[in-house]
Amino acid sequence: KNEVEQSPQNLTAQEGEFITINCSYSVGISALHWLQQHPGGGIVSLFMLSSGKKKHGRLIATINIQEKHSSLHITASHPRDSAVYICAVLNYGGSQGNLIFGKGTKLSVKP
C-alpha cells in the first residue's frame, strides 16, 4: 500500500465547476505539500500545510491531522487549471527532509 494515496486519479470537469482532490497518508508528517505539474513537466508548489486551511485565489487546501487527510479545492474551475495535482508529505522526524509523493490527479477542465 502506498504511503500517500490520491483520489481520483483522473478528473474531468466543466468550466465553472467546484473541484475537490483528496489525499490520504499513512505516516506521521511534519507538513503536506500540494503541487501542480503542467504538461511541460515543471512543478509549482501551491501550498504547504501543517494544520488547518489555506487559501490562495480560487484554490483552498485543508488538512485534518487526526484523520491523516487533506483536500485541495478549486472554485470556479477554468481550463487553465488543467494539470496534474500532486500531494506530497514530509515524513515526521525524517532527517533527510525527503518528500513522499502521491501518484497525482490529472485534472482536465473543459470549456
Partner 1 sequence: DGGITQSPKYLFRKEGQNVTLSCEQNLNHDAMYWYRQDPGQGLRLIYYSQIVNDFQKGDIAEGYSVSREKKESFPLTVTSAQKNPTAFYLCASRNPGTGRLGYTFGSGTRLTVV
Q: Which stretches of the chain bind partner 1, using CB under 8 A? A: 2, 4, 30-31, 33, 35, 40-45, 48, 50, 86, 88, 90, 96-104
Comparing CA positions, the residue from 14, 4, 23 lying closest to residue 82 is 14
Whether residue 32 contacts residue 89, with contact meaning beta carbons closer than 8 Å, is answered with yes
Closest distance to partner 1 from the beta carbon of 28 (Å):
14
Closest distance to partner 1 from the beta carbon of 101 (Å):
4
For residue 47, the cross-strand partners are 34
Of 21 and 77, nearer to partner 1 (C-beta) is 21
Whether residue 2 contacts residue 103, with contact meaning beta carbons closer than 8 Å, is answered with yes
Of 34 and 77, nearer to partner 1 (C-beta) is 34
76: alpha, beta or left, given left = phi > 0 and alpha = psi -120 to 50?
left
Closest distance to partner 1 from the beta carbon of 74 (Å):
20
